[in-house]
Structure 1
Amino acid sequence: MSLLELKDVHAFYGGIEALKGISLTVNEGEIVTLIGSNGAGKSTTLKSICGQVKVTGAITFDGKNITDQAVHQTAAAGIAHVPEGRRIFPRLTVKENLEMGAFSVKDKDVVSQMMERVFAYFPRLKERLRQLGGTMSGGEQQMLAIGRSLMMQPRILLLDEPSMGLAPILVEQIFEIIRELNREGMTILLVEQNAYQALQIASRGYVIQSGEMIMEDEASVLLESRKVKEAYLA
């Protein structure tokens, strides 16, 4: 069943058309990856879903039109966005950052349960609970950014370049956690420049170029595609 669907979506930054009529679907329980080069429109696609960019076309989530929804309404609907560059609160502690992710949850017991769930994925965050977010390593900040989004108890997780700037061993850890989240039922739309890693864990993939979808297929098929190999896997 389709959980998220984009149909003929156009997005603009001033007079520049960043997305040129893209269409995309993410079914419940899938990992779908969107790959492409810098400036292709990957991040704009996620921002469009979240309501950060005004678009034309149609975006539906769980059967409801969310095209014109505000960011806070989209988040409340169950869409969590982990942006490129992490965007944690550097002057807040790990605990405070996580609590910000659960700002709309009033029951303190529920917040505590959610926090323990995050610690099960990221034990290092529990060790750093009182540490300021801005003093953590890049890998730890990425864990915190994902953990903060999980505190929202989302239906779908939008991940924008989670491996950016991380050492190879940390990239492996982050991708293993993404796999584990998916095994436990989380639907994920993954934007990545590391096309090989992304296609290894995804069920399906899309290739975006200059704001247009140029390919879509099963991830295993895209991994073997000569065009994809030459452009993104070399």
Structure 2
Amino acid sequence: MNMLQMQDVHAYYGGIQALKGVSLHVADGEIVTLIGSNGAGKSTTLKSICGQVKTTGSILLDGCSIANRLPHQTALDGVAHVPEGRRIFPKLTVKENLEMGAFSVKSKKIIQERMEQSFVYFPRLKERLHQAGGTMSGGEQQMLAIARALMMQPRILLLDEPSMGLAPVIVDQIFEIIQALNRQGMTILLVEQNAYQALQIADRGYVMQTGEVTMEDDAQNLLVNDRVKEAYLAG
């Protein structure tokens, strides 16, 4: 069953059209990746789902429309977005950042329980609990951004360039965590500059160019597709 479905979605930044009839779906429990060059519309696709960009067309979560809802409403609907560049609160501690992720939860006990759950995946954050987020390494900040998104216990996790700017060993850790979350039942829509690594862990993938989906297939088929290899997997 499709958890998320976009049908003929168009999005604009002022007079510039960023998405041109994008259609895609993500089934319950899948990892689906969007690959493409810079400016292809991948990040805009995630922002459209979250209500950060005004759209036309259909965006459904579990069959219910979430198109053009306010971002905090979309979060309450069960969509968590980890944006490009992490966007943590640098002056707040790790603990305070995590609490911000659970903005609608009133019970301190539930918030604490969810923090403890996040420490299973991100034990480093427990060690840094009272440290300001902005003083941590890039990899630690990325872990914090993902953990903060999980504090709402979302239905689907949208990840935008989680490996950007990170050392290879940290990238491997982040991808291992993404896979571990998926094994526990988390549905994930992943935008990633490292197309090879993304396709290796994904179930399916979409290729985007200039605001349009130009190809869709199982991830393993895209890995061996000559057009994909030449454009995105060379080197």
> TM-score, normalised to structure 1's length?
0.99
Answering whether residue 174 of structure 2 is matched by residue 174 of structure 1, we say: yes
Answering whether residue 128 of structure 2 is matched by residue 128 of structure 1, we say: yes
In structure 1, the residue corresponding to 2:165 is in which secondary structure? coil
Report the Cα offset of residue 69 of structure 1. Answer: 1.1
Answering whether residue 144 of structure 2 is matched by residue 149 of structure 1, we say: no
Report the Cα offset of residue 193 of structure 1. Answer: 1.0
Aligned to 1:112: 112
Q: What amino acid is aligned across from residue 86 of structure 1 in structure 2?
A: R
CA distance in 2, matches of 1:70, 1:91: 26
CA distance in 2, matches of 1:62, 1:109: 29
CA distance in 2, matches of 1:188, 1:149: 12
Unaligned stretches of 5+ residues in structure 1: none
CA distance in 1, matches of 2:59, 2:181: 24
Aligned to 1:191: 191
CA distance in 2, matches of 1:104, 1:196: 37
Aligned to 2:23: 23
In structure 1, the residue corresponding to 2:105 is in which secondary structure? coil
| Alpha carbons 2:30, 2:202 under 8 Å: kept | yes
| Alpha carbons 2:48, 2:68 under 8 Å: kept | no
Report matched runs for 1:30-49 at 5 Å: 30-49=30-49
Report matched runs for 1:56-95 at 5 Å: 56-95=56-95
Count of matched residue pairs: 234
Report the Cα offset of residue 68 of structure 1. Answer: 2.4
Unaligned stretches of 5+ residues in structure 2: none
Provide the aligned C-alpha RMSD in A: 0.5
Q: What amino acid is aligned across from residue 133 of structure 2 in structure 1?
A: G
Report the Cα offset of residue 178 of structure 1. Answer: 0.2
CA distance in 1, matches of 2:200, 2:75: 28
Report the Cα offset of residue 70 of structure 1. Answer: 1.1
Q: What amino acid is aligned across from residue 230 of structure 1 in structure 2?
A: E
CA distance in 1, matches of 2:27, 2:148: 23
Q: What amino acid is aligned across from residue 58 of structure 2 in structure 1?
A: A
Aligned to 1:200: 200
CA distance in 2, matches of 1:193, 1:103: 30
Identity percentage of aligned residues = 75
Q: What amino acid is aligned across from residue 162 of structure 2 in structure 1?
A: P
> TM-score, normalised to structure 2's length?
0.99
In structure 1, the residue corresponding to 2:74 is in which secondary structure? helix
Aligned to 1:219: 219
In structure 1, the residue corresponding to 2:227 is in which secondary structure? helix
| Alpha carbons 2:88, 2:141 under 8 Å: kept | yes
| Alpha carbons 2:53, 2:68 under 8 Å: kept | no
**Runs of 4+ off more than 4 Å:** none
Report the Cα offset of residue 109 of structure 1. Answer: 1.0
CA distance in 1, matches of 2:68, 2:225: 36
